[in-house]
Every structure is written in C-alpha cells, then in structure tokens.
C-alpha cells in the first residue's frame, strides 16, 4: 500500500527521507516470520489460546469498531481536519443505531446509526471549517455534547433508567460451511505453523457478522476511492495543500465538508457495530474510548488504510486476550516480545547502531526475566498492552510517520486566489 | 487609544456573553423539542444556588475544576494540548492516597509531603508525553490520550488487594489515610464544610497569573506559544519550553484531585470523581485561559453539576445540564472565533481608512492584535 501512494502522488509526497520501501514480498515475509515466531512461542509455552479460532474471531469482532473509527479519522485527516470527535460520533452511532434498530430492525438501525454519526460529523465540519475553530477543541466539545445528548435522550426513548435500550434483533451471521470445520479441526491439532494459520483463517470464516464483512470491505474501498479516483485525489489535496488545490479549481470547503461528514458516518457505523452486533443493545458508556483508539490505530498505520487495518487488528487482538485467558496468554507473548527485541538488537548491530542495539538487548533481557520468573501477568498489564504498544510504535517511528501536510491547519476560502 | 481599549474590553466580554445566550437558547430548544417547559429548569437551578449547602457543594466542586482548568490553560498558553490532565490527576490522587495511608509524619510535614507526591506524580506522567514530544516528535494529543488509558490500568493494578488496595465491601479503595494528612475544612455549621484546599486553588490561580504575566519565564512561555520561530529567534529554546510547560501542566493537574481527597474522602476509591480533566478543557476555554475567567467558568460548571440533580425531582432530566455544558463549550469556541474575526475586520477597515486619509502607518494603533493562543 505504501508503494501505491508514491506512484500516485509524486508531486505531493517526495520519497520519505531515508525510509526503506516496504514492498509486498517483504511485507508478506515479515508477516510469515511473525506467524512462525508466534507458533514457536505457542509450542514452547503451551498457551494454545494465542492462536485459536475463537480467539481470532473475538479479535476480529473487537477490531471492527476500532477500524471503522480509524477509517473515519483517515477520511477527515486526509482532507486536513483533525477529528478527535470520533468518540462522540461513535456514541451517537450506538444510540441512534439501537434506537432505530429495536423498532424497525437491525438494517434500519445501521442506516440511522450512520446518519447519527454524520450529524456529528456535520457539526464538527461547521465548527472547524466554516468557523475555523481549532479542530481539537471542537472535537473535545463534540465528545462532551454527544455524551450529554445521548444520556438525556436515552431515558426518554428507552424508558426506565435509560442506561440500556431494548434488545435489537440479530443481523445474522454466517459460517463458510465445510471450510470452517476443516480449519477448526486443523487448529486443534496443534501443529507448528499450520495450526496457527488455520486458526487465523478460521477466525475469518466462522460466525462472521454481515456488518463485519462490510467493515472489512470498507478498507480497500477507502483506499480505492482516496488513491485511485479523481475525487479522492482532490480530497487528499485539501489535506496536503488547500491553497494549491483551490488555485486549481477545487472547492476546498465542499471536499472538507464531505470528508468530515463521511468520517462521522464511518465512526457512527463503528458505534452501530457495538450496539447491534457486539451487543444487541445500547449501553451507556459502551464506546469507552474506542474512538480515541481508532485515532491511534490510524496514526499507527501512518494515515494509510492498510496500516490502520493492521493497527486495529493489533488492538482487537490484545483486547481479545483481555477477554479470554489474558493472564496466561499475555505471559506467553512476553516471550515473543523478548525474542523480537533480540532480533531487533541483531538488526541494529548489522546497521552499526551499537548503543541502540545494547539498549534493545537490555530491554529484551528484562522482558525475558519477567517471563521467566512469573507464571502469569496481572490483567491490568493486558489491558494496558495496546496503549503501551502504540506509544512505543509512535516513539520509535515518529520521524517516519507522515501526516497530511496541512492537517489541522486553519484555512480560509479565497487564500488561493 | 482610550477608545480603542474600551472596544477591546467590549469584544472580550461579547464572546462569553453571546456564547452563554446561544447555549441557553439551544438548550431551551432541546427542552421544547422533548415536550418540556423551556424556562422552569433554569428557575429551579437558580433557586438551588441560593441555598447555602448547595453553595458549599459548588465551591468545593469548583476548586477541583479550577485547578484542572489551570493545568489545561498552562498547556494552551504554549499551544500544547494536554488532553492527559484526566489521567494525571487520577494517578496523582491515587499515589497521594497510597503515600498518605502508609506514611505518618506530623501534619506540618505530612501535608507538604502529600502535595509534593501529587505534583511529582502528575509531572512524571505528563513528562512522558513531554519527553516523547521533544525527543521523538510524538503529538502530545495522542501520547496523552494513550497515557490516560495506561493510567487507568496502573490504577487498576495498584488497588489490587495484594498490591496497595483494601477491599471495603464491593469498593476498591487504597485504605484510609493517616489523620495527620487530613486538611481541616472551614466549618460553616449546617451548610457543611468548605475544603481547606480551596485556599490552595486560589493561591494557584494567583501564582499562575504572576508567573505568566510578571516573570521572564512566563513571557518566554507565551512568546513561544504565539510563535515558536519568533521565540527561537529571540533566544528561547522551544524544546525546553515545551517540556517545561508540559511538566508544569502535569504538576498542576496532579493537585486537581487533592481538595476532595485531603478534605473529605481521605481515600481513593471507585467513587472518586473521574472526567475532571476533560471538563477542565471546556472550563479553560470558557475562561479564555485567564485566571479570573477560569474561576467564573469553574463556578458556572460546578453550579450546573450541583444544581441539576434537583431537576430530577421536578420531572426534568438532570442530563440537560450535561447538554448545556457541551453546548456552552461549542458556542464559546465559535463565538470567540467569530468575535475575534469581526474585531480584526473592524481594525483592518479603520487602518485602511486612516491610511487613505493620509496618516503615517506608525501612528495607527495596530499593535493590539494580541495573538490568542488556542483560545479559539
């Protein structure tokens, strides 16, 4: 996916200084290597949970709302508007989705939830684009407002204490017949690598909700729209250099508005997923920071759809560990982390960065000691894992990440004339 | 010159007034839309503010909002968004509670020890974001959001019974603090007790004003907030200022939970107030990063909080207050920006007119476009 960017926007993005291109074969090799390592760790530690089918399907289910929020963030930021309000837009999505869902069926719920998110997006767009208010300030205000509005409306619409809505009918899910059983079987054998891959794939074809499928499809769709269509090119040009875009006849306000409204719609869909698929009802506080995590996943993925999908997957996976045998499984992952750190240290030695190598090795040794002297880690470590990983990734790669150049900058119509 | 100052004052007051009027109007629309009386809730809430026990509650609550908002404002002055005040004050309150429960010094030593614990915990937590920002260029917004979440996990770990926690029924707590660390309140008889640390909040407000407006450091901070490159050109090291502002903000945030901790609960438990850091952002904005403005904003916020439960008894939903808070923040930022632009345009027109009339450029009072950092 990184290669595609550069082919398509040579004028906008000069080759990242000193950055190595991650080509598809290399990426596949890295993924294969990671899988093989995970498999080794699983066999050494006996923590079969880390790649089992139900673990993977839970991970997928938890990754979807984060990924949708991240996609929402991507649309807005590619057009140059920072969207901290994703959290609030998701909250609107959960409420509106459940409200329409329990009365007129889940599909109507999805539609209304998206509209709810779009309304949040529209509000953010008016405040940031027309009134030029600082994007983060507007987002924070939107989060407060969405929380208040749904809390106020919930008792009126759902009756009772209003902390929870009536049940929404299920959307239905599907399992690829035959294939799923075969993969579950393979996964149970506990073979090196093969069982792990079977677990991963099994998670993707067992009890998958239709909405999950739509969400997953939205990732390549977003990439295609933003990087392969004239519409997308114009939209991204607003995030890179709105003045230049305007001078070329692009209606910057229109594209920014559209992008932020779509952003709200995607976040709203993420909210609907929580209140229709993950749980069949609205619950106060259901979103619990997933909007922020989506934003982190997007930054983690360097403002690219593929990258953010990987980020969302990572968050979803660590979250799922939290639900299923976290203490033991994360303990096993400590070994994986130690091995990765040692590999990193070797890599740094090859690149002649000796100080960094020694530091990395030391951290690796510490993690290994932690692994060796304990039997399990406290659950709190599990829940903090995704956030710590994000911070580490940001710290280690901040210089290589590149956000849209005019992201978060104020822009007034007519600057390009 | 004099006439111009009056206009500036007018512009400064117009922002919040317009915002409040708009917010009230919009809230009334919400009330009408949900089939309720659009005026009575305000009357009920105003009535609440006349009861002395509610007043005490408001002042106590406002003291915490005030400190949190000052913490946010320090960052704003430097164009930094410390979204992490929430995590910083919670973690700091917890560490203070733990130290208070395990150390017993005489009160004159114990209380400073507790205050320092809070300040340093807050500084430590915001310092992580600050260091990441200056050494690795990580956006402080994202870093502090992550640190908020990590703080929740750290707190969850610290109050496990086998670490520092004490289970009281269904509630996780840190155990009761030693009595020498309790700060006595100002007893008002039947009305209740004002937290002793309300005085600390006032002192912090004064210190904030003095440091920012009367010291070299404050000048450097505001200068680098207004323009990093200009500040760097006049010899201010921008990275040092970013780190300093972040640490100060975190240290201030650390104190935000202490009025209630040392004055009332004496333990950190599941019931400890959360979310004050996020509200602090709205309050700092409403108060335009100005210590007096923030005080009014904090009182307004606390009033909305403490007067709204009464609404439940009169068949209104108290959440209307939360909607109002959200609407106030939104209309405040929009109206500040609109008023600022309107002022700028007026000024441009006047300068243009004077130039056309043949005045010398230097004679026009155009040096008043003070850049308003993050206040928009």
Largest CA distance in chain A: 67
Q: pLDDT category, A385, cuts 50, 70, 90?
A: confident
Identify whether the C-beta of residue B353 lies closer than 8 Å to the C-beta of residue B202: no
Higher model confidence: residue B208 or residue A184? B208
Nearest C-alpha of chain A: how many angstroms from B81?
A: 8
DSSP A281: S
All residues at 6 or more sequence positions from B125 whose CB lies less than 8 Å from its CB, including other chains: B84, B87, B88, B91, B92, B147, B151, B250
What digits encode the pLDDT tens for the residues A9-51? 333 333 344 344 556 677 777 777 777 777 777 777 777 677 7
What pLDDT score does A124 carry?
Answer: 95
- Tell me the chain A residues in contact with residue B81 when contact means C-beta distances shorter than 8 Å: 136
Q: Is B372 on the interface with A (CB under 8 A)?
A: no
The percentage of chain B sitting over the pLDDT mark of 90, rounded to a whole number, equals 32
Q: What is the mean pLDDT of chain B?
A: 85
d(CA A5, CA A22): 12
Q: Is the pLDDT of residue B337 over 90?
A: no
> Of A8-12, A89-93, A323-327, where does the model show the most confidence?
A89-93
Tokens of B96: 């203070």
Q: Is B157 on the interface with A (CB under 8 A)?
A: yes
What pLDDT score does B35 carry?
Answer: 81
All residues at 6 or more sequence positions from B169 whose CB lies less than 8 Å from its CB, including other chains: none
d(CA A141, CA B279): 9
Q: pLDDT category, B361, cuts 50, 70, 90?
A: low
CB contact under 8 A, A390 and B132: no
d(CA B204, CA A61): 47
**Chains A–B, number of C-beta pairs less than 8 Å apart:** 139
Q: Is B338 on the interface with A (CB under 8 A)?
A: yes
- Tell me the chain B residues in contact with residue A388 when contact means C-beta distances shorter than 8 Å: 146, 150
Q: Is the pLDDT of residue B370 over 50?
A: no
All residues at 6 or more sequence positions from B279 whose CB lies less than 8 Å from its CB, including other chains: A144, B65, B68, B69, B301, B325
CB contact under 8 A, B145 and A295: yes
CB contact under 8 A, A148 and B325: yes
Closest Cβ–Cβ partner in A145, A292, A395 for B327: A145
d(CA A195, CA A188): 7
What pLDDT score does A326 carry?
Answer: 64
CB contact under 8 A, A395 and B132: yes
HSE-CB of A369 using CA atoms within 13 angstroms? 6
Tokens of A120: 């949040």
Q: Is B156 on the interface with A (CB under 8 A)?
A: yes
What digits encode the pLDDT tens for the residues B187-207? 887 888 889 899 999 999 999
Closest Cβ–Cβ partner in B34, B279, B323 for A145: B323
Nearest C-alpha of chain B: how many angstroms from A242?
A: 21
Tokens of A22: 């991650």
- Tell me the chain A residues in contact with residue B137 when contact means C-beta distances shorter than 8 Å: 398-399
- Tell me the chain B residues in contact with residue A124 when contact means C-beta distances shorter than 8 Å: none
CB contact under 8 A, B329 and A141: yes
Nearest to A140 by CA among B336, B283, B272, B87: B283
What digits encode the pLDDT tens for the residues A289-321? 889 889 888 888 889 998 899 889 888 887 887
- Tell me the chain B residues in contact with residue A133 when contact means C-beta distances shorter than 8 Å: 333-334, 337, 376
All residues at 6 or more sequence positions from A220 whose CB lies less than 8 Å from its CB, including other chains: A305
Nearest to B24 by CA among B45, B50, B7: B45
d(CA B334, CA B339): 9
Closest Cβ–Cβ partner in A127, A299, A391 for B330: A127
Higher model confidence: residue B73 or residue B278? B73
d(CA A75, CA A262): 7
What digits encode the pLDDT tens for the residues A218-252? 999 999 999 999 999 999 999 999 988 988 888 99
> Of A408-417, B245-254, B263-272, B365-374, where does the model show the most confidence?
B245-254
Q: What share of chain B is helix, strand, coil (3-state, %, to 5)?
A: 70, 5, 25
Closest Cβ–Cβ partner in A144, A152, A398 for B136: A398
Q: CA A100, A104, A110: angle at the middle one, nearest 5?
A: 50
Mean pLDDT calculated for residue range B173-198: 85
Flag the least confident range among A104-113, A300-309, B204-213, B295-304: A300-309
- Chain A residue closest to B163 (CA)? A378
Residue B171: its H or E element = strand B171-173
Identify whether the C-beta of residue A1 lies closer than 8 Å to the C-beta of residue A223: yes
d(CA A195, CA A200): 9
How many helices (H) and strands (E) would you count in chain A? 17, 2
CB contact under 8 A, A155 and B281: no
- Chain A residue closest to B30 (CA)? A149
d(CA B188, CA B193): 6
Identify whether the C-beta of residue B229 lies closer than 8 Å to the C-beta of residue B67: no
Mean pLDDT calculated for residue range A260-277: 95
Nearest C-alpha of chain A: how many angstroms from B335?
A: 9
Nearest C-alpha of chain A: how many angstroms from B21?
A: 17
Identify whether the C-beta of residue A410 lies closer than 8 Å to the C-beta of residue B340: no
Mean pLDDT calculated for residue range A362-383: 82
Mean pLDDT calculated for residue range A58-75: 93
What pLDDT score does B367 carry?
Answer: 44
Q: pLDDT category, B303, cuts 50, 70, 90?
A: very high
Phi first, then psi, for residue A66 (nearest 5°) are: -65, -45
Mean pLDDT calculated for residue range B326-343: 84
Q: What is the mean pLDDT of chain A?
A: 82
Q: Is the pLDDT of residue A212 over 70?
A: yes
d(CA A189, CA A196): 10
Q: Is B136 on the interface with A (CB under 8 A)?
A: yes
CB contact under 8 A, A378 and B143: no
Nearest C-alpha of chain A: how many angstroms from B95?
A: 17
Flag the least confident range among A227-241, A380-394, B93-107, B326-340: A380-394
Identify whether the C-beta of residue B341 lies closer than 8 Å to the C-beta of residue B349: no
DSSP letter string over A153-184?
Answer: HHHHHH-TTSSBPPPPPP--EE--TTHHHHHH
Place of tokens 């915490």: B64
The percentage of chain A sitting over the pLDDT mark of 70, rounded to a whole number, equals 91
When scoring B22, B86, B142, B284 by the number of chain A Cβ atoms within 10 A, the one with the most, hence best to mutate, is B142
What pLDDT score does A21 carry?
Answer: 53
Note the helical H segments in B234-275: 238-255, 258-260
What pLDDT score does B44 carry?
Answer: 87
pTM of this prediction? 0.83
d(CA A364, CA A384): 19
The residue count of chain B comes to 376
B:308-327 residues touching chain A, CB 8 A cutoff: 317, 319-327
CB contact under 8 A, A148 and B324: yes
CB contact under 8 A, B338 and A136: no
d(CA A253, CA A242): 9
Residue B327's DSSP bridge partners are none
DSSP letter string over B285-328?
Answer: HHTTT-HHHHHHHHHHHHHHHHHTHHHHTTT--TTHHHHHHHHH
Closest Cβ–Cβ partner in B153, B317, B334 for A127: B334
Identify whether the C-beta of residue A173 lies closer than 8 Å to the C-beta of residue A29: no
Place of tokens 């202490």: B258
Reported ipTM: 0.81
CB contact under 8 A, A394 and B326: no
Mean pLDDT calculated for residue range A70-74: 95
What pLDDT score does A45 carry?
Answer: 72
- Tell me the chain A residues in contact with residue B376 when contact means C-beta distances shorter than 8 Å: 132-134, 137
């Amino acid at each position: 996916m990184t290669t595609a960017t550069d082919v398509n926007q040579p004028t906008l993005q000069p080759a990242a200084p000193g950055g190595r291109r991650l080509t598809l074969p290399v990426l596949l090799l890295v993924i294969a290597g990671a899988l093989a390592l995970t498999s080794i760790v699983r066999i050494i530690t006996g923590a079969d949970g880390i790649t089992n089918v139900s673990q993977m399907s839970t991970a997928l289910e938890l990754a979807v709302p984060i990924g949708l929020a991240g996609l929402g963030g991507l649309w807005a930021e590619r057009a140059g508007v920072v969207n901290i309000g994703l959290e609030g837009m998701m909250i609107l999505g959960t409420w509106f989705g459940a409200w329409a869902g329990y009365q007129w069926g889940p599909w109507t719920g999805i539609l209304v939830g998206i509209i709810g998110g779009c309304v949040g997006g529209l509000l953010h767009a008016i405040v940031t684009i027309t009134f030029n208010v600082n994007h983060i300030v507007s987002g924070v205000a939107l989060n407060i407002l969405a929380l208040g509005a749904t809390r106020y409306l919930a008792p009126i619409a759902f009756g009772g204490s209003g902390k929870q809505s009536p049940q929404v009918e299920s959307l239905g899910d599907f399992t690829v017949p035959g294939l799923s059983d075969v993969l579950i079987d393979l996964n149970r054998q506990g073979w090196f690598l093969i069982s792990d891959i079977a677990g991963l794939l099994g998670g993707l074809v067992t009890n998958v909700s239709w909405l999950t499928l739509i969400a997953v499809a939205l990732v390549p769709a977003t990439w295609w729209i933003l990087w392969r269509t004239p519409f997308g090119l114009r939209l991204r040009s607003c995030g890179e250099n709105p003045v230049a875009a305007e001078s070329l006849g692009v209606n910057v306000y229109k594209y920014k508005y559209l992008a932020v409204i779509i952003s709200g719609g995607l976040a709203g869909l993420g909210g609907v997923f929580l209140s229709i698929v993950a749980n069949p009802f609205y619950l106060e506080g259901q979103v619990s920071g997933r909007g922020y995590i989506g934003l982190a996943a997007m930054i983690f993925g360097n403002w690219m759809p593929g990258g953010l999908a990987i980020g969302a997957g990572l968050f979803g996976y660590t979250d799922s560990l939290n639900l299923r045998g976290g203490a033991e499984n994360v303990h096993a992952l400590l070994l994986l982390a130690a091995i990765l750190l040692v590999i990193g240290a070797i890599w740094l030695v090859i690149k002649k960065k000796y100080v960094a190598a020694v530091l990395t090795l030391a951290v690796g040794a510490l993690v290994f000691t932690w692994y060796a002297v304990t039997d399990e880690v406290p659950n709190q470590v599990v829940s903090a894992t995704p956030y710590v990983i994000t911070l580490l990734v940001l710290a280690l790669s901040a210089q290589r990440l590149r956000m849209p150049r005019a992201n978060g900058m104020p822009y007034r119509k007519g600057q390009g004339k | 010159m004099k006439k111009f100052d009056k206009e500036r004052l007018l512009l400064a007051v117009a922002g919040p007034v317009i915002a409040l009027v708009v917010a009230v109007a919009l809230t009334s629309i919400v009330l009408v839309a949900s089939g309720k009386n659009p005026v009575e809730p305000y009357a009920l809430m105003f009535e609440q503010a006349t009861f002395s026990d509610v007043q005490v509650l408001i002042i106590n609550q406002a003291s915490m909002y005030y400190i949190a908002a000052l913490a946010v404002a320090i960052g704003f002055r430097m164009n930094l968004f410390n979204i992490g005040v929430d995590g910083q004050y919670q973690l700091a309150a917890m560490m203070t509670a733990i130290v208070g429960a395990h150390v017993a010094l005489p009160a004159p030593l114990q209380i400073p020890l507790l205050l320092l614990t809070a300040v340093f915990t807050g500084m430590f937590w915001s310092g992580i974001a600050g260091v990441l920002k200056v050494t690795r260029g990580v956006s402080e917004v994202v870093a502090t959001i992550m640190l908020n979440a990590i703080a929740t996990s750290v707190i969850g770990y610290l109050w496990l019974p086998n670490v520092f926690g004490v289970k009281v029924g269904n509630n996780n707590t840190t155990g009761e603090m030693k009595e020498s660390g309790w700060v006595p309140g100002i007893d008002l008889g039947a009305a209740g007790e004002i937290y002793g640390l309300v005085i600390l909040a006032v002192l912090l407000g004064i210190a904030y004003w003095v440091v920012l407006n009367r010291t070299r450091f404050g000048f450097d901070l505001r200068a680098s907030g207004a323009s990093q490159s200009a500040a760097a050109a006049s010899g201010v090291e921008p990275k040092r200022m970013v780190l300093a502002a972040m640490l100060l903000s975190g240290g201030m945030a650390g104190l935000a939970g202490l009025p209630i901790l040392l004055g009332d609960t004496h333990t950190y438990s599941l019931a400890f107030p959360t979310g004050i850091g996020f509200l602090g952002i709205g309050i700092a904005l409403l108060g335009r990063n100005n210590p007096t403005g923030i005080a009014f904003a904090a009182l307004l916020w606390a009033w909305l909080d403490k007067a709204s439960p009464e609404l439940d008894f009169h068949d209104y939903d108290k959440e209307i207050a939360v909607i109002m808070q959200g609407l106030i923040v939104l209309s405040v930022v929009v109206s500040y920006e609109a008023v600022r632009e309107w002022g700028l345009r007026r000024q441009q027109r006047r300068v243009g007119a004077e130039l056309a009339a043949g005045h010398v450029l230097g004679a026009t009072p155009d040096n008043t476009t003070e850049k308003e950092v993050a206040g928009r």
